[in-house]
Amino acid sequence: MLQVVDLKLGYKGIPAIQGVSFAVKAGEVVAIVGANGAGKSTLIRGISGLLPAMDGSIVFQGTTISNWPAHRIVGQGIAHVPEGRLTFARMTVEQNLALGAFTVPNKAKQEKLYAEVYDMFPRLAERRQQIAGTLSGGEQQMLAIARGLMSDPRLILLDEPSLGLAPKLVSQIFGLIATIKQHGKTILLVEQNVHEALELADRAYVLQTGRMVTEGSGRELLGSELVRKAYLGI
Ligand code: ATP
């Protein structure tokens, strides 16, 4: 579904992603794990069109989307859920969801999406008239993900969905990601929470200072010497 080849991204000519290649197949959960500053957010921003590619290519469902504007990439079926649960704090849950559906002009289709999202996130259904800023941290992360789903993406990019959440909420969020997969979505996840991400992922890559250093199934990487030493403290 997604092929990234030799992608180079950076800021003011200084590369932060130094030519990485990876792929995501339809229906998979793929995790890219790495430490602080490895370049995870940069990579996600590059795919969603928020940062121009310095080199390399991004092909989504057979179409080269490198350097397309972000709104066109959303229209093509890729949703980006940014780091930091960026919801519109003064708007209600439902208004936040409506903003996620801006690329879906058809009213009936929008209604179907609300129903699907509320079915996946019953907590948000109960709170649809609540002001987003008054939701708990975990609920705000749910809302950020749900808003991404309102564009009816085929591929959803999740930037550190577990960041800053208490351990119990972290497992809840990973549980939700599994639910989204069951609903037929393809997921590319970047995470610092290496253990949980590898347990969930079908396949995963390890990013270190802008380069992919290893890849494998989630299970393989959980058992790998490099991952155990560098990220799991074992
Ligand atoms: P974190 O989890 O801390 O966000 P990350 O793996 O997502 O880490 P990035 O945010 O992608 O890492 O940062 C990768 C590198 O790019 C870092 O060296 C960072 O300082 C640099 N960088 C990120 N954003 C900018 C920016 N707007 N301008 C200049 N350099 C940046």
pLDDT in tens, 204-230: 999 999 999 999 999 999 999 888 888
Share of the chain above pLDDT 70, in %: 100
Q: Examine the pLDDT at 233 and tell me if it is beyond 80.
A: no
The tens digit of pLDDT for each residue in 31-72 reads 999 988 999 999 999 999 999 999 999 999 999 999 999 999
Evaluate if residue 101 carries a pLDDT over 90.
no
Instruction: Please tell me the residue having the least CA distance from ligand 1 atom 10.
Output: 41
Query: Within a 13 Å sphere around the CA of 141, how many CA atoms are in the beta-carbon half?
Result: 22
Bridge partners for 79 per DSSP: 156
Q: Is 38 in the pocket of ligand 1 (CB under 6 A)?
A: yes
- pTM score of the predicted model: 0.91
Residue nearest to atom 29 of ligand 1 (CA): 11
Task: Report pLDDT for 157.
Answer: 97
Rounded distance between C-alpha atoms, residue 63 and residue 52, angstroms: 17
Please give the pLDDT value at position 10: 94
Side chain identity at residue 162, one-letter code: S
Cα–Cα distance between 182 and 234 in angstroms, integer?
Answer: 32
Q: Which two tokens stand for residue 31?
A: 């995790």
Other Cβ atoms less than 10 A from the Cβ of 183: the count is 11
Backbone angles phi, psi at 17, to 5 degrees: -120, 120
CA of 208 relative to ligand 1 center, distance in Å: 12
Q: Is the CB of 218 under 6 A from ligand 1?
A: no
More confident residue, 11 or 102: 11
- Whether 84 is in the pocket of ligand 1, judged by its Cβ within 6 Å, is no
- For residue 234, pLDDT over 80 is answered with no
144: pLDDT confidence band, cut at 50, 70 and 90? very high
> Under CATH, which number does the domain 2-85+153-232 receive?
3.40.50.300
Residue 41 beta carbon below 6 angstroms from any ligand 1 atom? yes
**Helix or strand holding residue 182 (H, E):** helix 167-182
CB distance 94 to 50 below 8 Å? no
Residue 223's contacts (CB-CB under 8 Å, 6 or more residues apart) are none
Query: Could you tell me which of 172, 165, 223, 221 has the C-alpha nearest to residue 31?
Result: 221
* Cβ 39 under 6 angstroms from ligand 1: yes
> Half-sphere exposure of 26 toward its Cβ, with a 13 Å CA cutoff?
8
Calculate how far, in angstroms, residue 80's C-alpha sits from the geometric centre of ligand 1. Answer: 17
pLDDT in tens, 105-139: 888 988 999 999 999 899 999 999 999 999 988 89
The amino acid at residue 56 is G
Q: What is the pLDDT of residues 194-208, one digit of tens each?
A: 999 999 999 999 999
Dist. CA 43 → ligand 1 center (Å): 9
Question: Across the chain, what does the average pLDDT equal?
Answer: 92
Cβ 192 under 6 angstroms from ligand 1: yes
Q: Is the CB of 16 under 6 A from ligand 1?
A: yes
Q: Write the residue with the smallest CA distance to atom 3 of ligand 1.
A: 36
How is the chain split into domains, by residue range? 2-85+153-232
